[in-house]
Amino acid sequence: MKQQRPLAITGGRLITPDGPRDATLRLVDGRIDALGQEPRDGDDIVDAKGHLVAPGLVDLGVFAIDKPAFHFGGITRAALMPDQSPPLDLPSRVSYIAKSGKPDFWVHPLAAASRGLQGREIAELALMREAGARGIATGRQWIADSGVMLRLLQYAAMLDLVVFAHAEDATLVAGAVATAGEIATRRGLPSAPAQAEAIALTRDIALAEMAGARIHFRQVTTRAGLDIVRSAKARGVKVTCGITPAHFMLSDLATVDFRTFARLSPPLRSEPDRQAVREAIADGTIDVVASGHDPRGPEDKRLPFSDAQPGMAGAETLLAMVLSLVRDELIDVQRAFELVATAPARILGVEAGAIASGFEADIAIVDPDKPWVIQSARMEATAGNTPFDGQPTQGRVTMLYKGGMRINP
Amino acid sequence: MTSTESSPHAARYPAGALAFPHRDLIGIGQLERHEILFLLDEAERWVALNRQADKHENLLSGLTVINAFFENSTRTLLSFEIAGKRLGADVVNMHAAQSSVKKGETLIDTAITLNAMRADAIVIRHGSSGATQLIADKVDCPVLNAGDGQHEHPTQALLDALALRHALRDRGQAAEDFTGLKIVICGDILHSRVARSNLLCLQALGATVRLCAPPALMPIGIEAMGAEVFHDFDAALDGADVVMMLRLQTERMSGQFIPSAREYHHLYGLTKKRLNRAAEDALVMHPGPMNRGVEIDSEVADMIDRSIITRQVEMGVAIRMVALDILTRRARGVEGWGAAA
């Protein structure tokens, strides 16, 4: 399936890397045409009705391929974490996954850093790159062995593959389901100090710097951790980091009634740390906001808090939550799409995620003010485990294009 | 059944169910001070009954109480079973070890099963914090928390308060509550639901609570719950009116928290000599089971005039009776407690 006829999107506000501009956008042969063109004879015409014409979202680090949820959320590409069953630690699995979403959704597999994600033996990274891996990930956990981590980063640097790391010292967080502090203590939940993040970041950044590797921390959730990333960036380390909306919308107060939809990894942090995350989004320390999409049914969630699996279904709420930061005047709308599309595409090294000539015609037309209510029971995702259940929000995708082809969100 | 349970304390509390407007007993954290006092006052009747030769009252005749214990227990299970039987209920014990939990059934399915068998009250003990609330949300009958993970063990805190009240009364120090008392809780605070429930209960009743443990066994942020935190047992004991010792919950520990039992005893064991640092005649408590020679020496545990450890066990039955009585009043159609189910 390929785009047959050129398409002109008129009457919209284009969100380009140079800022918003009211103009027509032409999509030709699955690519974005030179900007500033007018519709031509024979073009199909679509009226954006004054809404935002933005890049389709590139979701950096999801745990499941869940097309209806991604399409609802305006997501046209996702980097899939290797934590699958079985894990993405063989070239054959990577190549199968790389083709699995086409044509209306592109999956960029992240290769498992180690065999079985055990953190001991480095997996066949070069072969997996050839099979379509766009990066390497340590999975849900930290690689505790510093020797393994250094060799992994050196190898990744040679292959010019970015390493997605999980920043929690595994020996400190063993068995913990919450951040140590008043809430966890009142609730009697096994907890670990938030400093587990800063410890992991310090080591991993030191090793990445030594190896000259690119490293991306999928989630940095504490003030101490963000300070470490900020100073590493200032001295030129090739480090980027992300966050999911849960950590800028919620603090550990959300776990007070043992609601397992708020059981996440890393766990929700204190309110001061939540504020630090918002500051880091505003000042550019945080490069990416991703959904961390991890739909989990009752068999994983209808359990006592410490027995439940971590994770939330986030694909449908990602855009609305990021747009809430625009309404809060923390960021502007251009930066919002930088966080959810442009920066993730750049980290993966794909020509997408921006309204730019020659880029893949992955386009989301967004009504940024459209009100709706997040309802766990009525989600497109394979499971409705959202900590935002019942919350009113604003911002919905009204039309979605992948490679110039219309998808019904 | 419409007869009212006459209570000598009736005048002190709001009428009927307003005195205790909860369907379940999940934690001390959900209770107001006057609700705790109501439970303690109402329990006196059962203390008296338990001291008679005939310890039976047919209040709960025809009702089924299920004790669902997903974690091993001897004394608490026995105490709940005796309480239910003395009130005339049909008491059934479900041990996780013999149940379908071992076959992979989820907690919720187990709860729904118990509910379908039309239990009139379910007593739950479970190793995970919040498990009792999870079950309470899924069943139609009152749920009593007999200990959930490291969260709460409300009947233990209530029985401790009742035992303390009786001990003070015997000494002629009877008072409305524990205002002015300095109470030390020493031991494995981190893993202890008893410590959390007692902290909440004793504070609600006016006491000052000092918690004492080595840092590794003291939960981070506990000061926010209003406790005074000590790592030096001798300093914590200074002038204390009550010393409550907790055992090391080695079954909940992953990794090493203390170098050795010997060293722990050296720093935190309650010896006769150390007890002298507390107020004269300070009372000694322990929720059991005791590890004699580790957290408490035998000569302290067995001091007739100071140790109220066996009295705690005695009060346990009365507290569980009052909890079953009050939580089933609605189902029994007791006047003022809502319609019969």
Instruction: Please give the pLDDT value at position B1.
Output: 38
- Tens digits of per-residue pLDDT, A27-39? 999 999 999 899 9
B1 in a structural domain: no
> Do residues B48 and B163 both lie within one domain?
no
Pairwise CB contact (< 8 Å): A303 & B107: yes
Answer yes or no: do B148 and B187 share one domain: no
pLDDT value at position B176? 83
Q: What is the number of CB-based contacts under 8 A between chain A and chain B?
A: 79
Return the number of other C-beta atoms located less than 10 Å from residue A151's C-beta: 14
Which residues fall within 8 angstroms of residue B176, CB to CB, at 6 or more apart?
A: B37
**Residue A40: is it exposed, middle or buried by C-beta count within 10 angstroms (0-12/13-18/19+)?**
exposed
Q: Compute the nearest-CA separation of A24 from chain B (Å).
A: 54
B132 phi and psi, to 5 degrees? -65, -40
Check: CB of residue A14 under 8 Å from CB of residue A20: yes
Q: In terms of domains, do B163 and B132 share one?
A: no
β-bridge pairing A363-373 and A52-55: antiparallel
**Residue B4 scores a pLDDT above 50:** no
- Find chain A residues with C-beta within 8 A of B219's C-beta: 180, 184-185, 191
Residue B5 belongs to a domain? no
Nearest to B129 among A181, A189, A193 (CB): A189
CA–CA min distance B97, chain A (Å): 18
Would you say B186 and B244 are in contact if contact means Cβ atoms under 8 Å apart?
yes
Q: Are strands B242-245 and B182-186 parallel, antiparallel or unpaired?
A: parallel
CA distances from A375 to A301, A313, B9, B311 (A): 17, 12, 48, 52
CA–CA gap between residue A69 and residue A180 (Å, rounded): 33
Q: Name the residue with tokens 């609330």.
A: B133
CB contact under 8 A, A181 and B131: no
Chain B closest CA to A261's CA: distance in Å? 13
Interface of B with A in 32-71 (CB under 8 A): none
Buried b / exposed e over A55-81, threshold 16 CB at 10 Å, is bbbbbbbbbbbbbebbbbbbbbbbbbb
In a domain, B165, yes or no: yes
Q: Per the structure block, which two tokens stand in for A98?
A: 């790389």
B321 in a structural domain: yes
Do B38 and B99 belong together in one domain? yes
Specify the 3-state DSSP secondary structure of B294. coil
CATH number reported for the structural domain that contains residue B67 in this entry: 3.40.50.1370
For residue B240, report the phi and psi dihedrals to the nearest 5 degrees: -70, 145
- Tell whether B17 and B144 lie within a shared domain: yes
pLDDT at B336: 92
Say if residue B101 is in the same domain as residue B175: no
**Residue carrying structure tokens 């630090």:** A276
Task: Match 């745990």 to its residue by tokens.
Answer: A63
Give tens-digit pLDDT for A336-380: 999 999 999 999 999 999 999 999 999 999 999 999 999 999 999
Residue B150 touches partner A, C-beta closer than 8 Å: yes
Determine contact: B256 vs chain A, CB below 8 A: no
Q: Which residue of A has its CA nearest to B199?
A: A186
Q: How far apart are CA B248 and CA A67, in angstroms?
A: 50
In this complex, do B150 and A190 lie within 8 Å of one another by their Cβ atoms? yes
Residue B340 lies in a domain: no
Count of the separate structural domains present in chain B: 2
Distance between CA B26 and CA B196 in Å, rounded? 13
**For B122-171, how does the pLDDT look when each residue is reduced to its tens digit (9 = 90+)?**
999 999 999 999 999 999 999 999 999 999 999 999 999 999 999 999 99
Contacts of B200 (CB under 8 A, 6+ apart): B27, B28, B29, B157, B225
Over chain A, what is the mean pLDDT?
Answer: 96
Query: B221 and chain A: CB distance < 8 Å anywhere?
Result: yes
Closest listed residue to residue A180, CA positions, set A100, A269, A101, A248: A269
Q: Does the residue B255 lie in any domain? A: yes
Distances (CA, A) of B147 to A35, B53, B84, B133, B217: 66, 31, 17, 11, 19
Verify whether the Cβ–Cβ distance A185 to B225 is below 8 Å: yes
User: pLDDT confidence of B107, banded at 50, 70, 90?
Assistant: confident
Are the CB atoms for A9 and A25 separated by under 8 Å? yes
Interface test with B, best of A171, A179, A185, A296 (most B CBs within 10 A): A185
Structural domain including B274 reads 155-308
Residues B211 and B322 in one domain: no
In a domain, B275, yes or no: yes
Chain B residues near residue A185 by CB distance under 8 angstroms: 196, 219-222, 224-225
Average pLDDT of chain B, as a whole number: 92
The verdict on B264 and B281 lying in the same domain is yes
- pLDDT tens per residue across span A97-118: 999 988 899 999 999 999 999 9
Residues B126 and B247 in one domain: no
A360: DSSP letter:
B
By percentage, how much of chain B surpasses pLDDT 90?
A: 83
| Reduced DSSP (H G I as helix, E B as strand, rest coil) percent helix, strand, coil of chain B, to 5 | 45, 15, 40
Inter-residue contact B226 to B185 (CB < 8 Å): no
SS3 per residue for A246-272: HHHHCCHHHHCCCCHHHCCCCCCCCHH
How many CA atoms lie less than 13 Å away from A156 in the CB half-sphere? 35
Per-residue pLDDT at B252: 76
Interchain contact, A180 vs B224, CB within 8 Å = no
Are B69 and B189 in the same domain?
Answer: no
ipTM of the shown complex? 0.89
- So what's the pLDDT on residue A70? 98
Range B42-64 burial, b when 16+ CB lie within 10 A, else e: bbbbbbebbeeeeeebebbeebb
Measure A396 CA to nearest chain B CA, in Å: 34
For the stretch B279-333, pLDDT in tens is: 999 999 999 999 999 999 999 999 999 999 999 999 999 999 999 999 999 999 9
Q: Check if the beta carbon of residue A318 is closer than 8 Å to that of residue A298.
A: no
C-alpha dihedral (A80, A310, A272, B191), degrees to nearest 10? -150
| Distance of alpha carbon B317 from alpha carbon A297, whole angstroms | 41
pLDDT digits (tens, 9 = 90+) for B245-275: 999 988 777 778 999 999 999 999 999 999 9
Which domains can be identified in chain A, with CATH numbers? 56-353+371-392 (3.20.20.140)
From A188, A193, A304, residue closest to B196, measured CB to CB:
A188
Establish if B4 belongs to a structural domain.
Answer: no
- Helix axis angle for A195-211 and A146-159, nearest 10°, is 50
Instruction: Give first-to-last CA distance, chain A, whole Å.
Output: 18
What pLDDT does A409 receive? Answer: 59
pTM: 0.92
Does residue B275 share a domain with residue B148?
no
SS3 letters across B10-74: HHHCCCHHHHCCCCCECCHHHCCHHHHHHHHHHHHHHHHHHCCCCCCCHHHCCCEEEEEECCCCC
Q: Which residues of A touch B255 (CB under 8 A)?
A: 174
The verdict on B320 and B268 lying in the same domain is no
